[in-house]
């Protein structure tokens, strides 16, 4: 038997003892077992998807056991398998956006990234009007479907009426559509505020400090109650800037969720850090995040880069 054949013959001989580790959101597992009564480690990782069209067409046609996890407006998400027997667990999480917009296509396409510094003046003169325009185009229908009880009501983990019933402090907690709802180390939840005048972390000021602390406490409490395998210090809470959608929300993820660009410095702002920054600001209750400079990343296809920051850079003003 040649060396390659001898090596390949080892895998069928592996006898599983237990799962040792699972990471990358469940895409890689390390198993402890034995071969010929000798302790053995076997690590299995899903291979990269092919990139040629013909192979991808075959892949799509081989999708079986597609099970809907939820539908909201143009967004749909599923579990599925690729040509496996029906008694096997699903091995894919699918997200479908139909009809998608040009903004979706830009978001999911490869693009360069730039670091930009948004001063209070740039925010007031350029970014705030851009955000207002995005909200006017109906891009928040799926959010309002949840808040108004039309969609995803069975998925809501916790609903808070606000401190002492204050309606402008109400919020709810639900799974993010990118989470498979079962792999706890890749847990991803969203806390959505019910009020509609807070578009992003830029709208937060010192008057919101007590409320933010209340949300942090209740979100963590509700999460560990729903998922008792998780401790409170295994959760990370943050906001995006620029966010994907302009309605104030907090991301709640497991600390073991392997970081992607959406959790990187320049994109994710820790909730605790936002609270601390608000506490350190001088001035009255109206002093807030709209009055500070923020440095963050932007994709080169993002409208804010092409319409605001690139022209400012080329004009020598940014």
Q: How far, in Å, CA of 246 to CA of 229, rounded?
A: 32
- Residue 164, classed as helix, strand or coil, is helix
Q: How far, in Å, CA of 92 to CA of 27, rounded?
A: 10
Question: CA–CA distance from 55 to each of 59, 96, 297 (Å)?
Answer: 6, 20, 34
Q: 271-280 vs 209-226: helix axis angle to the nearest 10?
A: 160
Tell me which of 208, 247, 249, 251 is the catalytic residue.
249
| Residue 203: closest CA among 148, 131, 139 | 131
251 is known as an active-site residue = no
Phi, psi of 238 (to 5 degrees): -155, 165
| Residue 233: closest CA among 242, 243, 224, 246 | 224
Which residues are annotated as catalytic? Answer: 249
């Amino acid at each position: 038997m040649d060396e390659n054949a001898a090596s390949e013959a080892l895998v069928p001989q592996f006898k599983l003892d237990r799962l040792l580790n699972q990471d990358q959101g469940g895409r890689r597992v390390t198993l402890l077992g034995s071969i010929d009564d000798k302790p053995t480690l076997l690590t299995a990782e899903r291979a990269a998807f092919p990139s040629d069209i013909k192979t991808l067409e075959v892949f799509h046609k081989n999708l079986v056991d597609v099970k809907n996890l939820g539908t909201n407006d143009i967004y749909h998400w599923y579990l599925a398998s690729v040509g496996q027997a029906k008694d096997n667990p699903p091995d894919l999480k699918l997200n479908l956006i139909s009809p998608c917009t040009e903004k979706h296509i830009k978001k999911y396409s490869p693009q360069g990234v730039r670091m930009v510094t948004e001063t209070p003046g740039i925010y007031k003169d350029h970014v705030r009007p851009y955000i207002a325009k995005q909200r006017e185009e109906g891009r928040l229908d799926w959010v309002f479907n949840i808040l108004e009880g039309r969609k995803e009501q069975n998925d809501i983990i916790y609903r808070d009426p606000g401190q002492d019933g204050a309606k402008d402090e109400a919020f709810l907690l639900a799974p993010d559509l990118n989470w498979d709802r079962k792999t706890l180390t890749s847990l991803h939840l969203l806390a959505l505020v019910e009020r509609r005048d807070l578009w992003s972390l830029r709208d937060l000021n010192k008057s919101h400090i007590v409320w933010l602390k209340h949300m942090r406490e209740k979100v963590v409490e509700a999460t560990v109650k729903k998922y008792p395998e998780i401790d409170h210090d295994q959760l990370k809470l943050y906001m995006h800037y620029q966010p994907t959608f302009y309605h104030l929300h907090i991301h709640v993820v497991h600390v073991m969720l392997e970081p992607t660009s959406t959790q990187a410095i320049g994109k994710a702002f820790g909730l605790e850090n936002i609270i601390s920054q608000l506490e350190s600001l001088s001035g009255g209750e109206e002093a807030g995040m709209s009055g500070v400079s923020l440095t963050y990343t932007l994709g080169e296809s993002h409208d804010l880069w092409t319409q605001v920051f690139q022209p400012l850079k080329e004009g020598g003003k940014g």
